[in-house]
Structure 1
Amino acid sequence: MTFELVVDAPRWRAHLAQVAQTTPGLVPVVKGNGYGLGRDVLASEATTLGCDTIAVGTYDEVPSALADFAGDVMVLSPWRPFLPGTDVDDSRVIHTLGRVEDVAALAALRPDARIVLEGETSMSRHGLDRHQLAAAVAALGGLRLEGFAIHLPMAGANLAEAESWAAALETSQVETDRLFVSHLVPHELATLRERRPQLQIRPRIGTSLWLGDLGALDVRATVLDVHHLSRGERVGYRQRPVPRDGYLLIIAGGTSHGIGLEAPRAAAGVLARGKTVAKGGLEAAGLSLSPFTVAGRQRWFIEPPHMQASMVLLPASVPPPAVGEQVKAAVRFTTAAFDRVVLEG
């Protein structure tokens, strides 16, 4: 059974190199499922790119990052005294602090720890507001301040907010000229550098680095079985009748691989909302489009995907693939888990 990601390694690495060359101070984000490629693969590529720092999402990801990467490891999730793993004692780890009380707590627990202070942006997720900066600085004690960080929204223009924080940083008591930023597009980064030449801008980039050239990433699923079906025949766990003559394809890839799992998306505009309503109506009727492409078209699930395989209906007019052949699949890489990741070339 194989649900695999095949990477055109020369093409993918050419994209990575281009991003690194045009993005001074790059901090690759290596978190979660490693954007489908695996965190160990991404850590190795970050080393090849010559990066001195990577960013992980949580403290659970720190041990493997320290093993796979020789440089510094920044934790994006804010340090909290009650979270497991936050007592890591390694000089390569850079903690993120976004509450005054946490600054004081870490200063008491590990006074020589390396940290960045994080500002609360319009994301409203974590961070200090501007009025708390002085108190945070006063609580630093012996903590080693490595910079200031802002995590911006993904929607809309972020330059004005980034500039506002850069100005606040320069006029505050936070003694650092290093600003870590997330979610500034290239032209915004360039403008911020031009307007704030006295700051070291360190962009933390994940999706547009690792998944910036999707043409280099090929998801393939193996056909495990093919059965001829007649209209009305009942199949699957739920024994639903088949709506027409055709073929039942059993394809590698199920819920354990992320198939059928979808992160919620905001529908912007009338057309997008209409598509959401239409999709909901089809799913309520037991019809759901699978991510698998056969003969140039995405095909319908015959029932929800199983844990490690999916049942897909192919019309009788389309010649079925042979058992053992592979078909293409469209996935959301941040929720995908592959049996194998193969770097070719």
Structure 2
Amino acid sequence: MSLVLTVDGERWRSHLRGFAERHPGLVPVAKGNGYGFGLGRLARKAAWLGVDTLSVGTYDELGEVANRFDGSLLVLTPWRPFGAALDLAPGSPLTRRVIHTVSRVEDLEALLARDPDARFVLERTTSMLRHGLSARDLRAAGALLAARGGLREQLRGVALHLPLAQGSHLGEVRRLMTDVVAADLATTTVWVSHLSEAEQGELAAAYPDYTFRPRTGTGLWLGDRSALRVTSTVLDVHPVERGEVFGYRGRSAPKPGTILVVSGGTAHGIGLEAPSGDLSLRSRAATLARGGLDAVGFVRSPFSIDGKQRLFAEPPHMQASMLFLPAGATVPAVGDLLDVRVRYTTTSFDDVVIS
């Protein structure tokens, strides 16, 4: 009676091993809801893969992975002289395992003043314009470190967080690498994201003196969707006639059919939608169609019956949803399982079952 993620364990583990073998220096990313699996489970799987470093999104997530993975912990959110980053006591066992991300020269100075032994990467800003040092700031950081002897053991590399846009990133990375070389840093490691295997190979050939370490989350954990299945349980079945009232909001059935009550609601992330990054004409047409359905009270749900996504009868509840099946559709029985199409990074499951 729950929203469950079921994983074909053998297939999933085979994918993880193959992915790691194809990406030397892999740095798995475990952040947010752990891509639906949970942070602790991903930390254990990273240890199983034998990698030396695991990335987390924020300092608040360190506690969920530190006891399950004993290697280095790279925090992707840049260090700032405030907030959860200051909860790490200089010299503590956990602090010695952390690799900070530094995206401002003033933060580099503040971090080293607070913890002279801190390990860190310098993030160079990319076309994403999210975080990072400009070319001038990267050179300034290099000069600051040179004045301190380079801090070769503490500077763990330069980080590049590239966009998800389609097309090759090689041109941008080559321009950014010019800045990295010009900064004359005491490191030859570059941490990269969102590069294809072919792009990583070309960069390794073009810059043989540098080591490129791919940071990957989605492609690693969710790369073989056929190994994953999400199911909901049918909790109740109610035949309705046209005009019959149902639900929290007293809606009336538009025609004869069946109201299904199924597990999975807003507490799981069902019915909550992040902005779409797809700007194609097809995507825009689908958005308009959904808006038209919404205007008359029909919204397609992620729950499938007979291979077709069925309509919400009303907005989903916290832990359950009500669906409308028109007359003539296959009506499942109480206890039957329905396939559910979800966005794993925004869904919380009641249980994750790995065979």
Q: Same fold (TM over 0.5)?
A: yes
Pairing of 1:1-345 with structure 2 (within 5 A): 1-89=1-89, 90-140=95-145, 141=148, 144-156=154-166, 157-344=168-355
Following superposition, the deviation at residue 269 of structure 1 comes to 3.0
Q: 1:332 & 1:320 partners in 2: Cα distance?
A: 26
Amino acid in structure 1 at the alignment position of 2:248: Y
1:231-283 superposed Cα distances (whole Å, 9 cap, x missing partner): 11011011111111111110000001010011101342333222211211211
Q: 1:102 to 1:85 in 2, by over 3 A?
A: closer
> Cα distance, 1:336 vs. partner?
0.5
Shift of 1:65: 1.7
Q: Distance in 2 between matches of 1:36 and 1:10?
A: 18
CA contact (8 A) 1:260 1:304 kept: yes
CA distance in 2: counterparts of 1:247 and 1:274, whole angstroms: 29
| In structure 1, C-alpha distance between the alignment counterparts of 2:21 and 2:98, rounded to whole Å | 25
User: C-alpha separation between the residues in 2 aligned to 1:131 and 1:111?
Assistant: 24
Structure 1 residue 139, shift from structure 2 partner: 3.5
Unaligned 5+ runs, structure 1:
none
Contact 2:72 2:97 in 1 (8 A): yes
Give the TM-score normalised by the residue count of structure 2: 0.94
Instruction: Give the % identical residues.
Output: 51
Structure 1: distance between partners of 2:21 and 2:282:
39
CA distance in 2, matches of 1:167, 1:76: 23
Distance 1:138 1:191 in 2: 30
Q: CA deviation at 1:60?
A: 0.6
TM-score (norm 1): 0.97
SS at match of 1:327: strand
The residue type equivalent to 2:155 in the other structure is L
* Kept after mapping to 1: 8 A contact 2:78/2:101: yes
Aligned AA (2:336): E
Kept in 2, the 8 Å contact 1:119–1:130? The answer is yes
Paired residues, what number? 344
For the residues of structure 1 that align with 2:183 and 2:143, how far apart are their CA atoms?
A: 12
* Alpha-carbon contact 1:118-1:150 (below 8 Å) kept: yes
Q: Which amino acid aligns with 2:117?
A: D
State the distance in 1 between where 2:327 and 2:60 align.
Answer: 49
CA contact (8 A) 2:35 2:221 kept: yes
Letter in 2 for 1:56: V
- Segments of structure 2 that go 5 or more residues without pairing to the other structure are 90-94
Tell me, yes or no, if the aligned pair for 1:267 and 1:276 is still in contact at 8 Å.
no
Q: Is the 8 A contact 1:59 1:86 kept in 2?
A: no
Superposed CA RMSD: 1.3
8 Å CA contact 2:26, 2:51 repeated in 1 = yes
